[in-house]
Amino acid sequence: MAPISLNTSYLSGFIREHELSSVARQCELAAKILEDRSGDGNDFLGWLDLPVNYDKDEFARIKAAAEKIKSDSEVLIVIGIGGSYLGARAAIELMRSPLYNSLKKDTPDIYYVGNSISPAYLNDVISIVGDRDFSVNVISKSGTTTEPALAFRIFKDLLEKKYGKDGAKGRIYATTDKARGTLKELSDREGYETFVIADDVGGRFSVLTAVGLLPIAVAGCDIDRVMEGAALARADFKADFEKNDCLKYAAVRNILYRKGKSVELLVAYEPAFAMMAEWFKQLYGESEGKDNKGLFPASCIFSTDLHSMGQFIQDGSRIMFETVVDIKKPASDRFIEKDPANLDGLNFLSDQNMSLVNRRALEGTVLAHTEGGVPNVVLELEDTSEFSFGYMVYFFEKACAVSGYMLGINPFNQPGVESYKKNMFALLGKPGYEDAKAALEAKLGR
């Protein structure tokens, strides 16, 4: 059985059979354009065959580096922003625990920096590391992206002060461009071990490369099984529409978008899925949000967010649909004992596993929301194992690419990302931005 299956039984009141069949041809055409590499952005399709075509020598070096980090470091600092850290963090929290750093374990704690410009957050991480032995994995194609470059400058200095220049270089692992860029040049000069960010794999599609795999391996996850899951997904999702849940998911999203739904709310009932949802939001937001088109990707963790967002979802504007990730087998379970006093009145929940209560919450919520007019797409995920994670990553990536082509946009560029950077550089006085700075200062009333 595939680790993911699509359950559309709750869509009967929202999508008619003929609508799905009419979109099927468009969906298959988009998938063919993707597989033929004949669409826009086709120079960024390295992820398509990555599960079977990855560099086996580098893969072995990733595992060796992970073992070295586990043997000589109590902490790994992962420096990156966007796709350079979200996938790894999502994987570790899903497969290990959202409380990974607090668990008793034989692997290093992992902290993520370079994903903001907050000095308070950075100082807190430095304080937490304290006197413990640590290593750094800096992830940047260019080495000049502001947030990670700033964090790397600081942690490189900390390493050199603690271990000396020679000792520090054995604790810095740079995931960067194969041949060029500031970080690559520095790594070659200083002797850091390097891993490659391929030219044909964009950041948000890079979790199955060294970008994600090194931190995932350091956390003790089996990256061989991750790649095996992704390889099965690659094979499965070449099937015809009728046997292809990935294409059906892309089609359903497209139909609901055409019907006026502007928000896709990704929902799970496990806190361990929260960072996976953040990865999903970058993948779909950065891929689809162009030319004034695209579904806005949002997320909730239930039942937690039913006590905050539940009212809006049930009775608010009918602008959204939910994609519910139903994890069939939780990482662990707990049996509910009877309480003789029953002061809380919860003995009706006794003599069963807590996971069953969580499942009834899912079932009751899906029924309530669909009856309230919110379409629910259910993705049934077998478990949170490495194999299932790899399969799910490929599922979402391919569905995203197909969805983008169905929208008539290039899913692999991100032209809007640069706008804020230009303004920020001008306001900070970066050389070459002097004229822009004066104009922006005037707009800010300064």
Q: Give catalytic residue positions.
A: 286, 307, 421
Of the candidates 325, 319, 296, the residue with the CA atom closest to the CA atom of residue 374: 319
- Three-class SS of residue 261? coil
CA–CA separation, 137 vs 76, rounded Å?
Answer: 7
182, 51 Cβ separation under 8 angstroms: no
Q: How many CB atoms lie within 10 A of CB 432?
A: 8
Dist CA 37 CA 261 (whole Å): 30
The type of residue at 328 is K
- The secondary structure of 46-69 as a DSSP string is TTSSHHHHS-HHHHHHHHHHHHHH
Look up residue 387 and give its DSSP letter: H
C-alpha to C-alpha distance for 379 and 324, rounded to whole angstroms: 6
Burial class (CB in 10 A: 0-12, 13-18, 19+), 310: middle
**CB–CB of 41/414 below 8 Å?**
no
Contact yes or no for 233/394 (Cβ under 8 A) = yes
Q: DSSP assignment, residue 191?
A: T
Greatest CA span in the chain, whole angstroms? 75
Nearest to residue 333, comparing CAs of 297, 298, 384?
384
* Residue 15 · residue 255 · CB < 8 Å: yes
Burial of 247 (0-12, 13-18, 19+ CB in 10 A): buried
Q: What's the distance, Cα to Cα, between the start and end of the chain in Å?
A: 62
The answer to whether 119 and 159 have CB atoms below 8 angstroms apart is no
| Contact status, residue 4 vs residue 392, Cβ threshold 8 Å | yes
Could you please report the per-residue DSSP string of 286-342? Answer: HHH--TT--PEEEEEETTGGGGTTHHHHHHS-S-EEEEEEEESS-S---EEPP-SS-
